Amino acid sequence: MSSFGQYSQQPSTTGQSIAASVDATALRTYVQRVYAWMVGGLMVTSVTAIWLGSNPELLLSILSGPLFWLAVLGPIAMVWFLTARIDSMKPSTAAGMFLAYSLLNGIAFSSIFLIYELGSIFQVFLIAAVMYGVAAVYGYTTKRDLTNWGAFLFMGVIGLLVTMVVNWFLQSPAVTWAFSLVGVVIFTGLTAYDMQRIKEQAVVMYAGDALSNKRAIIGALSLYLNFINIFLFLLRLLGNRR
């Protein structure tokens, strides 16, 4: 199971010149706001998944019922809706949708506790956190313009989706292994790319709290998706099955 996101937002054509024009305090505040939402979303997902994973009977009843399909398909629609309609939403609506999205993901991802050993899940989570952190720091601190990475990485996501559909029928272990390895590389790259793009968007801090809060939620959504996908692909590669 993978949670692919929407990466149609493009960085400003002026690149890092915009980020350089933003006051350091405003930039730091905006990035902290983005990460607060991202961490909050991950906590909602993690707590939900762990709680369901510790209640096998409840988990099995959910996985065999319609709520599971809502948890699998609902987040896909919510990502596209949030991205397309964020500017016309109230900040409270955007926040509620993001938290609901995180909750549904927690329900869907709770199934990994039936497939993988508990210790293995937490080990892979830590590895994913380290990889993600290194990529995010690189994206935030590098002087290199990562704009050109966007189109390449987006095509990589499309390639992953096509491969996933094809391998649904082939059920090839070799394809699954290669697919997972490439997925880790692509979403690690997207983490650095999105982190630089978020820096460039910090100029919204001067447009008022309403817009900056909504943009922070969209930025958090991108980073959340990157982390989730890195974790799930690594779990396929390194996780010990029950």
Question: What is residue 152's three-state secondary structure?
Answer: helix
- Tell me the pLDDT band of 57, cut-offs 50, 70 and 90: confident
**Within-domain flag for 9:** no
Q: What is the residue whose two structure tokens read 């008022």?
A: 208
Choose the weakest-confidence range: 107-111, 147-151, 158-162: 147-151
pLDDT of 133 = 95
- Tell me the pLDDT band of 193, cut-offs 50, 70 and 90: very high
Report the predicted TM-score, pTM, of the whole model to 2 decimal places. 0.86
Closest CA to 78 of 6, 150, 1: 6
**Within-domain flag for 4:** no
Is pLDDT at 207 greater than 50 in this prediction?
yes
Q: Between 46 and 70, whose confidence is greater?
A: 46
**Within-domain flag for 6:** no
Closest CA to 195 of 152, 137, 112: 137
If you write DSSP's letter for every residue of 187-202 in order, what string do you get? Answer: HHHHHHHHHHHHHHGG
pLDDT of 182 = 93
pLDDT of 138 = 95
**Within-domain flag for 11:** no
Angle of helix 24-53 versus helix 209-238 axis, rounded to 10: 50
- End-to-end, the C-alpha distance of the chain in Å comes to 17
**Within-domain flag for 110:** yes
**Within-domain flag for 7:** no
Report the C-alpha gap between 169 and 120 in whole angstroms. 28
**Within-domain flag for 175:** yes
* Average pLDDT, rounded, for the chain: 86
pLDDT of 25 = 81
- Domain containing residue 61: 16-238
Is pLDDT at 12 greater than 50 in this prediction?
no
Is pLDDT at 180 greater than 60 in this prediction?
yes
Choose the weakest-confidence range: 14-18, 110-114, 116-120: 14-18
Alpha carbon separation from 85 to 90, 139, 152 (Å, rounded): 10, 27, 25
Number of domains, the chain = 1
84 conformational bin, left if phi > 0, alpha if psi -120 to 50, beta if neither = alpha
Is pLDDT at 49 greater than 90 in this prediction?
yes
**Within-domain flag for 45:** yes
